Amino acid sequence: MRRILAEHMTTVEVVGLDDVEAYDEPVEDQPTFEGNALLKARAGVEVTGLPTLADDSGLCVDALNGMPGVLSARWSGPPKSDDRNNELLLAQLADVPDERRAAYFTCAVALVLPDGTTRVVNGRMDGRIIREVRGSGGFGYDVLFEADDRPGVTTAELTADVKDEISHRGKALREIAPVVADLLR
């Protein structure tokens, strides 16, 4: 966000969770990515009094009717485990042919200002789920996901710059950056 916002304005200091007094983050119990992003952004404003951006993202698999969806991080149950989530996803798709393994990552980014103003944008990266874990970068399901924009490599095998360019989160942040700049001027 710092890098992307700097393209639109240089007079705002972007701080992260590590830069403010620690607080208990809310339970992500909303049925949509937008709802969870707003929940987190509203909590940030309430505790810090600062304009707050928060996101929620996940993987949606067509053959699983959009699941794991908002449950992506907790798909295999507590405690959170990327390895267990990936094992479960592969098991659930074991009999699904390659042509039916379409999926997409989605990200909702919410901006909430102290006066209650809210904006939410979404980003999406289409692709498919492969049959084996590949790569060591990224996190979560990146080791199983090939983006349509970069076939043949998983998002865990992409450089950070390329992933930022095509990712759901990168797209959403680039969309919200000018909104942040306009609202904070």
- Residues with a catalytic annotation lie at 56
Structural contact between residues 140 and 59, judged by C-beta atoms closer than 8 angstroms? yes
Strands annotated E in the chain: 52-61, 102-112, 118-129, 145-147
Q: What is the DSSP letter of 151?
A: T
Ligand-binding annotation for 56, yes or no, is: yes
163 is in an annotated binding site: yes
Which tokens is 87 given?
């094992």
169 labeled part of a ligand binding site: yes
Length of the chain, please? 185
Tell whether 168 is in a known binding site.
yes
Residue 139 assigned to a binding site:
yes
What is the phi/psi pair of residue 29, to 5°? -115, 15
What is residue 68's DSSP assignment?
B
Strand partners, 108: 56, 122
> Is 171 annotated for ligand binding?
no
Both tokens of residue 67? Answer: 């699941």
Burial class (CB in 10 A: 0-12, 13-18, 19+), 24: exposed
> Can you read off the two tokens belonging to residue 139?
């996190």
Residue 100, marked binder? no
**In this structure, are residues 124 and 106 in contact, taking their beta carbons and an 8 Å threshold?**
yes
140 labelled ligand-binding: yes
Binding residues for Mg(2+): 56
User: Which residues are known binding-site members?
Assistant: 56-57, 139-142, 163, 168-169
Please enumerate, by residue number, every residue annotated as part of a binding site for substrate: 57, 139-142, 163, 168-169
